[in-house]
Amino acid sequence: MVSLALTVSLGLLVSFSNAERITSTPSCCSLLSEAFPDTIYDKNTQTWSSEKYNFWSATAVLDPACIFTPTSTEDVSRAVMLFSQNECKFSIKGGGHSNIPGAASIDDGVMMVMSQMKTAEIHPEEGYIHVGAGVLLKDIYATLDPHNLSAVIGRYGEIGLGLALGAGISYFSNRDGLAVDNIRNYEVVLADGKVVNANIKENKDLFWALKGGNNNFGVVTHFDLNTFAIPGSAYGGIIHYPQSSLDKVNDLVYDYHTYQAVEGLLTHAMPQWVYNGSTNDTYNLTPVIYNDNVEELPPIMKPWLDVPHTSSTLAPRSYENLSIYLNEGFGDGLIQEQRVFTVYADKKFYKDVLYKFREWLQNFQDVPGFLGAHLNMPITPRQVHQGLLKGGNALGLEGAGNHTLGVLFFGITFEDPQYKENILSEHDKFVQSMIELARERGVLYPYMYAPSYLTPIQLPGTTHYTIMLTYCGYNQAAIASYGPNNVDRLWRVQRKYDPKAVFQRLVPGGQKLPPQEQQVH
């Protein structure tokens, strides 16, 4: 008897063979131009040139044949139907903050830019805000702040809503969990142009898959974000610590991960170490936020001020102001590269990895404009539990038990592309060496699922490790890191909602579903 796995495999082979008849890009652009004469731009237009380069990182800039700027869900529906029927390759761009080539742009294809879909409508009685896929986070905060409402979204104002398909750490995550776990509804255009809602009642399997599944199932045109009351402003800003305080900051980071973030649900801190090649200096800039209308930090967060620091900008702020302020200094157009992996919170490993990264960064101090950044962000047991209470997600975090996890980010920035190949290769090797160090010390996360009252068990010989999609590098297999069971489940959702694999074949960029091992039973 032929198994279902083999039957599905053969079906996918038939579907994938359609790639042989992919329509030429000029023909696709011409078809779009006939259907949408006012919102299609070719290489001879200013809009094309502006949008081509409108990315945070120069690594994301590709060469699309034409650019399409839909203004409504209907536009997206008609366009996706056209793409599917004519085998046109395309990409989907929201805020443009991914550094991964192809995540939002495309070479010789159609780049669909969602920037005209900026709806932001509050529904106070129902407790949500309805936003378009082109909205920036600062716009959401600006809409909610005057009503003393907020939502679990990202922290930097110039970022879009891609994080709502990846993971998303928020000012409110210690209390409410990740951004993906606070989406009430996704409005999705499927490969055949059909528009569906995905939520806890409708298309529940798709709802689960979108929470970490990226661009593999459809085009999300609108998000309904849960909202909640806030007491006016927050209290926050940035504390600047000199190089001489780094050891104490490291100790404080571990305290934040295992105590402050666990016991103080309104706390938020984002420690970030910065290496400046031009001065060969390493310092720490930590945004510290208390999500309440207070005039000073509460006792649980006072240790941030006890460590010797050179300056502090802590003050009452609106969330719009906070998101814009934290984004200052993050200009567009430089070469940005990043890597990430996840460990169980461990004070010694946190300290060792920072100093090893600092030592590695010094190899490139003579590269013009060279900067390094290291962030260490907690995922607490409550954050994981919030995800389970709200329908679950695809991220595979459930096995951490009663342990806090640390998401370790390693970023580099520089200007001159002549250094790109060497630096990116060496950066990848360094992070891989830190992953191996974490594995040797038994702190690398993956894990075997265990209830919260048990200690997580690391699987012997496991090669994969958990990667947060919104911070990953171009060659890090984020979705594969969710674990084989979740990957299998994501593939089942993909086959159900996109049986011709349009979003695997025609949307080639970004984090795609990893290949499955096909078995005959």
Q: What is the pLDDT of residues 167-196, one digit of tens each?
A: 999 999 999 999 999 999 999 999 999 999
pLDDT of res. 330: 77
Q: Is the pLDDT of residue 392 over 70?
A: yes
For residue 447, give every residue at least 6 positions away whose Cβ sits within 8 Å of its Cβ, in sequence order, or none: 399, 400, 456, 457, 458, 459
Confidence band for 517, pLDDT divided at 50, 70 and 90: low
We find that the CATH architecture of domain 22-116 is 2-Layer Sandwich (3.30)
Residues whose CB is less than 8 angstroms from the CB of residue 302 and which lie 6 or more positions away in sequence, other chains included: none
Asked if 289 contacts 175 with a C-beta cutoff of 8 angstroms, the reply is no
C-beta neighbour count of 197 within 10 angstroms: 16
| Each residue's pLDDT tens digit, 333-366 | 899 999 999 999 999 999 999 999 999 999 999 9
pLDDT at 460: 39
The two three-digit tokens of residue 272, written as one number: 């970030």
Q: Which of 270-274, 452-456, 491-495 has the lowest mean pLDDT?
A: 452-456
Percent of the residues in the chain that have a pLDDT greater than 90, as a whole number? 86
Residue-wise pLDDT tens digits, 115-154: 999 999 999 999 999 999 999 999 999 999 999 999 999 9
Domain parsing of the chain, residue ranges:
22-116, 120-229, 234-480
3-state secondary structure at position 15: helix
For residue range 6-32, list pLDDT tens digits in order. 333 333 333 444 444 566 677 999 999
Whole-number pLDDT of residue 5: 34
**Residue 366 DSSP code:** T
Check residues 171 and 401 and name the one with the higher pLDDT. 171
Place of tokens 């528009």: 195
User: What are the CA-CA distances from residue 119 to residues 71, 133, 142, 158, 229 (Å)?
Assistant: 10, 8, 13, 16, 21
- Number of neighbours of residue 148 by Cβ within 10 angstroms: 13
Reduced DSSP (H G I as helix, E B as strand, rest coil) percent helix, strand, coil of the chain, to 5: 40, 20, 40
Tokens 């390759």 belong to which residue? 89
Interval 78-96: pLDDT, tens: 999 999 999 999 999 999 9
Give this prediction's pTM: 0.91
The pLDDT value recorded for residue 20 is 47
Report the alpha-carbon distance of residue 500 to residue 511 in Å, rounded. Answer: 18
> Using one digit for the tens of pLDDT, what is the confidence trace for 197-207?
999 999 999 99
Question: What pLDDT score was predicted for residue 14?
Answer: 36
Note the CATH number of domain 120-229: 3.30.465.10
Q: How many CB atoms lie within 10 A of CB 315?
A: 14
**Tens digits of residue pLDDT in 431-489:** 999 999 999 999 999 733 333 333 333 443 444 567 888 889 888 999 999 999 999 99
Name the fold adopted by 234-480: Vanillyl-alcohol Oxidase; Chain A, domain 3 (3.40.462)
pLDDT of 516 reads 75
Q: Would you state the pLDDT for residue 406?
A: 97
Q: Which residue has the higher pLDDT, 471 or 62?
A: 62
Residue 451 token pair: 């209830």
Per DSSP, the three-state class of 147 is helix
Q: What is the mean pLDDT of residues 409-418?
A: 97
d(CA 480, CA 491): 11
